[in-house]
Amino acid sequence: MAYGLARRELRPRVPLRPGEGDKHGLTSLQGLAALSLDALSSVAYGPEAIVLALVVAGTGALTATLPITLAITFLLAALVVSYGQVIAVHPDGGGAYAVAKTDLGGTASLLAAASLVVDYVLTVAVSLAAGADALASAFPALGRDKLLVCLIGLALLTAVNLRGIAESARVLMLPTLLFIVSILGVILLGLLRSHPVALVGTDRPVHATEALGALVVLKAFSSGCSALTGVEAIANAVPTFRPPSVRRAQRTELMLGALLGVMLIGLAVLIHRDHVAPRDGVTVLAQLTAGAYGTGWPYYVTNLLVTLVLALAANTSFGGLPVLMSLLARDHRLPHLFGLRAERPVYRYGVVALALLAALLLVATDADTHRLLPLFAIGVFIGFTLSQAGLVRHWATQRPPGWKRRALINGTGAVLTTLAGVILLLTKFLGGAWVVVLAVPLLMLLFARIQRYYTAVGRELGLGRTPDPPPRHLGSLVIVPIGEVSKLARHALGAALALGDEVVAVAVHADPARVRALEEAWERWNPGVRLDIVNSPHRSLVQPVVDYVQRAAEGGRQVAVLIPEVEPVHRRYEILQNQRGLLLATVLRARTDVVVCLLPYRLKL
């Protein structure tokens, strides 16, 4: 106490950049916005996929929409409970990959990782392409530049995520909230009305080509399961939540399951009650929106919100895949740079890699949603099955209280997701799913080869073993390439004298007159350092210095080469400086084992 003031602990206050400090993590609501849009936005195409699969048996078959949706919702509930358990057992994230690695072995973990990488990249491409389609429906002039629209949206999402996941979550919270309110409004008003207010689109002739049998129902079930993609993203990105991260992630998973289940069942009830069949020019969701709101401004606002949210659903992958890639890097299955976090903190290399892969896929398919959809959802169902099968083995091995009930939930989910995944693969194989069948094993091979390389490097470096004592000190030599007597030479020799036992300056010249002038200037200066001049009849600078260094390093002597470089203040002047120092450093690193150092001399210009 002094002068009546309480003592305060003095701490330096350094302003934090966006995303730094304890506030960079996600809250539950931010997590719902940043990591759940893929799953929530699937109500725009999941129910429609069921209708399109059933209508081949005639409009009367559409009565099966509601029971199929209830079955999908049951599977959703099993997945939500299962991934809540995954979050608790594997709080470092990784989802299916972490479960498979711990409980199912190396091969299964490689399969999980490869399938998740494929699915995350496809999520970005499909979401942006679907959003561009919806935008082109409202503004037909944009239809000719759909690929450009997708790439611009991808660039914006990448830029936002490079600033940090929390920042992207704040950007997404308002559109997510408005989308949820709009869809729930469609359901509530639609149920309160005795019949649709308006009808949009044009009639599409429906001709039954198959009977409503088990195969049609299974196809509709597997197609509708596309609404479940994205459920795993929260479990993959647990470390991005604020402490207590496990509890926040579990709460977000439950919120996602409840909202998605209510929306799917509500839309299915409306489809069943109003006998909604596919119509040309509009989606099934647009028909339900017109039936609830009419064709006034709420109809257009809702459709624009659907467009926006479909585009922003790609952000789910930006939250999940970089974390997964960091785990793969930690396990030596991807280059270690993917495990580096920026000070924001963000896995920037993972974000950039995802953006580049998605851009390549969009360009290869010309942002055509129909060419991308057959590839979609197969990878994530592989992840679903592996994560739940792994947890069944985990409960059977650990046997905590209530393990049988938990194993039954996970086992039921594993059977259902396996069935859906097999049907998806069989029905979409010729439509493009063969690409996923090819890509997943290739990625598994890539991960295995990278891991094999790191294992071999660790063995060669003797990691984990006590090495022999270092060799006796033979005296160090620092070689300084110079061109002429100047402040640059003084700067370099001063640094060299502080580093080594012996310093020698090396100059390469072809003109005898310049050699004599340099020797006279050196004698007048007399810096106390020997000057060796190498003759170069062909006026080559790099090779004579390399040869000199190789001779000096013979016999095991420790040699360092200190290369002074002029560094202007402004980058626009860098091109005016010669780059011989960088070239010399590159060649020395490639052809010798000496220490190579670049010493900057900063100009004031």
Average pLDDT estimate for 93-106: 76
Of the listed ranges 79-88, 127-136, 254-263, the one predicted with least confidence: 127-136
**pLDDT tens string 61-82:** 888 889 999 988 988 888 888 8
Average pLDDT estimate for 468-493: 82
Is 90 exceeded by the pLDDT of residue 387?
Answer: no
Give percent of the chain above pLDDT 70. Answer: 88
Contact call for residues 518 and 533 (beta carbons, < 8 A) = yes
- Please, which residues have CB within 8 angstroms of residue 133's CB and are 6 or more apart in sequence? 146, 369
Give percent of the chain above pLDDT 90. Answer: 11
Task: Tell me the C-alpha distance between 475 and 559, whole Å.
Answer: 9
Q: CATH code for 6-455? A: 1.20.1740.10
Residue 211 gets the label, from left (phi > 0), alpha (psi -120 to 50) or beta, of: beta
Higher local confidence (pLDDT), 269 or 211: 269
**pLDDT tens string 338-355:** 887 765 556 788 889 999
Q: Please write down the HEC assignment for all residues of 240-278.
A: HECCCHHHHHHHHHHHHHHHHHHHHHHHHHHHHHHCCCC
Q: What angle do CA 497, 498, 502 make, to 5 degrees?
A: 40
Nearest to 533 by CA among 356, 521, 32: 521
In this structure, the strands spanning 476-481 and 558-567 are: parallel
Q: By three-state DSSP, how is residue 467 classified?
A: coil
In this structure, the strands spanning 595-602 and 476-481 are: unpaired
Nearest to 110 by CA among 121, 119, 122, 97: 97
Of the listed ranges 61-65, 200-204, 293-297, 332-336, the one predicted with least confidence: 200-204
Is 80 exceeded by the pLDDT of residue 550?
Answer: yes
Within the chain, which residue ranges are assigned CATH 3.40.50.620? 476-602
Which pLDDT score is estimated for 266?
92
Of the listed ranges 2-11, 331-340, 470-479, 514-523, the one predicted with least confidence: 2-11
502-509: strand order across its sheet: 530-535, 502-509, 476-481, 558-567, 595-602
Contact call for residues 120 and 351 (beta carbons, < 8 A) = no
Is 90 exceeded by the pLDDT of residue 562?
Answer: yes
Is 80 exceeded by the pLDDT of residue 21?
Answer: no
What tokens does 230 get? Answer: 């994205």
Task: Tell me the C-alpha distance between 457 and 107, whole Å.
Answer: 22
Is 70 exceeded by the pLDDT of residue 43?
Answer: yes
Range of 43-52, 222-231, 251-260, 377-386 with top mean pLDDT: 251-260
Within the chain, which residue ranges are assigned CATH 1.20.1740.10? 6-455
Which pLDDT score is estimated for 388?
82
State the DSSP code for 402. T
Which pLDDT score is estimated for 480?
92
Which pLDDT score is estimated for 345?
54
503: which strand partners?
Answer: 478
Q: Please write down the HEC assignment for all residues of 272-332.
A: HHHCCCCCECCCHHHHHHHHHHCCCHHHHHHHHHHHHHHHHCCHHHHHHHHHHHHHHHHCC
Residue 448 half-sphere exposure, CB side, CA atoms within 13 Å? 12
φ/ψ of 471, rounded to 5, equals -65, 155
Contact call for residues 345 and 24 (beta carbons, < 8 A) = yes
Pick the CATH number of 476-602 from 3.10.20.30, 3.40.50.720, 3.40.50.620, 3.60.150.10: 3.40.50.620
What tokens does 494 get? Answer: 């001063």
How many C-beta neighbours within 10 Å does residue 569 have? 10
Contacts 24+ apart (CB under 8 A), 214-219: 216/53, 216/54, 216/56, 216/57, 216/61, 217/54, 217/64, 217/68, 218/419, 218/423, 219/53, 219/423, 219/427
Which pLDDT score is estimated for 16?
41
Confidence of residue 54 (pLDDT cuts 50, 70, 90): confident
Task: Tell me the C-alpha distance between 347 and 363, whole Å.
Answer: 25
Buried b (16+ CB within 10 A) or exposed e, 206-241: beeeeebeeebbbbbbbbbbbbbbbbbbbbbbbbbb
State the DSSP code for 432. I
Task: Tell me the C-alpha distance between 563 and 587, whole Å.
Answer: 13
Task: Tell me the C-alpha distance between 138 and 282, whole Å.
Answer: 11
Is 50 exceeded by the pLDDT of residue 10?
Answer: no
Q: Name the percent of the chain in helix, strand, coil, to the closest 5.
A: 70, 5, 25
Which pLDDT score is estimated for 267?
92
**pLDDT tens string 252-311:** 999 999 999 999 999 999 998 888 888 776 778 888 888 888 888 888 888 888 888 887
Task: Tell me the C-alpha distance between 592 and 507, whole Å.
Answer: 19
Nearest to 519 by CA among 481, 485, 490: 485
What tokens does 545 get? Answer: 């210095």
Q: Please write down the HEC assignment for all residues of 493-528.
A: HHHHHHHCCEEEEEEEECCHHHHHHHHHHHHHHCCC
Q: By three-state DSSP, how is residue 568 classified?
A: coil
Contact call for residues 33 and 169 (beta carbons, < 8 A) = yes
Nearest to 480 by CA among 520, 532, 536, 515: 532
